[in-house]
Amino acid sequence: MLKKFAYGLLGLLVLLVIVVLIVLIPPHQQIRNFNSAIPSFEQLSHALTSGSGPAAISYITTASQKNGSKTLGHAGILLEWPDGRSFLIDAGMDRETAVAFGAPFESLLGSDPSITFGPIEEQLGSQINQINGVAFTHLHSDHTAGITAICDAMLAPATIFQTNDQAKNHNAFTEAGQNIINDSSCNSSLLSTDVIKPVPGFDGLVAIAAGGHTPGSTIFATKLNNRIWVFAGDITNDMDQLTHNKGKGFLYSYLLIPEDTERLEQLRLWLADIDNSSVASVLVAHDWDAMQSSEIPAWRPGGGR
């Protein structure tokens, strides 16, 4: 009887391994096909010399979750131009989605419960109508979940800008995010195939196809007060990983999220060089402590911290 139970358990484990491999091998193979050219810092700087650029940048936090000494943040980046137009990078989450997203971190890692601050459209109120453009660093749910309500709250639809890779190349981990975008009431537009892609209608804002984390991972850069700001999404989970060229670990990069670890190292080294420059700063999406200590303020009605 005990032998039968052991064989049965072993059979279930083997079946589980097979299912995991079936799910993970295709996206692991796919992600390694997206290695667009990485521009030099000089090329990026030159691309940002033309155009007026935004007059203000701030972050809008929809949720945070403390895990030991670090705090995971879920925020959108709001860029505001002098003529009143705004651009949003990443859409954050509503309260219910944020709590559900944080639940596994509580049970598996012992993280604190998620703290929610309200969805972006609620925080912005009528100023949501100043957003004319939206983009995503990538299409995981914690970056895309808020877009439906954001677009529905607008009197006139904004345009969602995506690279070709982000809009058309998906895996099981990004399809849902693209479906949310497709079903939203916002318009959509593809960026150019250039290495450094200007965002039409928003002078001084560019995008770079990154890959590594997802097929459509995208890095955005702009310039404010003679400083270049680079928004790197989830290329790393925190700035310490970027500064010390540390990967996310086998469990994360191979079993939880299919990543191209070699590509991510290339991007970490490139971003670290930029961040070491005296005229540029890099911010990753979820390092809320780094976000709070940066020169970029939290969004407040009327501006300021």
Of 101, 137, 99, the residue nearest 118 (C-alpha):
99
Contact 232, 282 (CB under 8 A): yes
Q: Does residue 57 sit within a domain?
A: yes
Buried b (16+ CB within 10 A) or exposed e, 93-132: bbeebbbebbeebeeeeebeebebbbbbbbbbeebbebbb
- 230-242 pLDDT per residue, tens: 999 999 999 999 9
Q: Does residue 301 sit within a domain?
A: no
Q: Does residue 112 sit within a domain?
A: yes
Range(s) of the domain holding residue 134:
32-293
Q: Does residue 21 sit within a domain?
A: no
Q: Does residue 55 sit within a domain?
A: yes
Of 200, 198, 191, the residue nearest 221 (C-alpha):
198
Task: Calculate the alpha carbon distances from 49 to 14, 226, 259 in Å.
Answer: 57, 9, 33
- 175-228 pLDDT per residue, tens: 999 999 999 999 999 999 999 999 999 999 999 999 999 999 999 999 999 999
Q: Does residue 11 sit within a domain?
A: no
pLDDT average, residue stretch 52-72: 94
- 205-217 pLDDT per residue, tens: 999 999 999 999 9
Domain count, the chain: 1
Q: Does residue 275 sit within a domain?
A: yes
Q: Does residue 53 sit within a domain?
A: yes
**Looking at residue 16, what is its pLDDT?**
46
**Looking at residue 305, what is its pLDDT?**
41
The CATH number for 64's domain is 3.60.15.10
> Does residue 99 have a pLDDT over 50?
yes
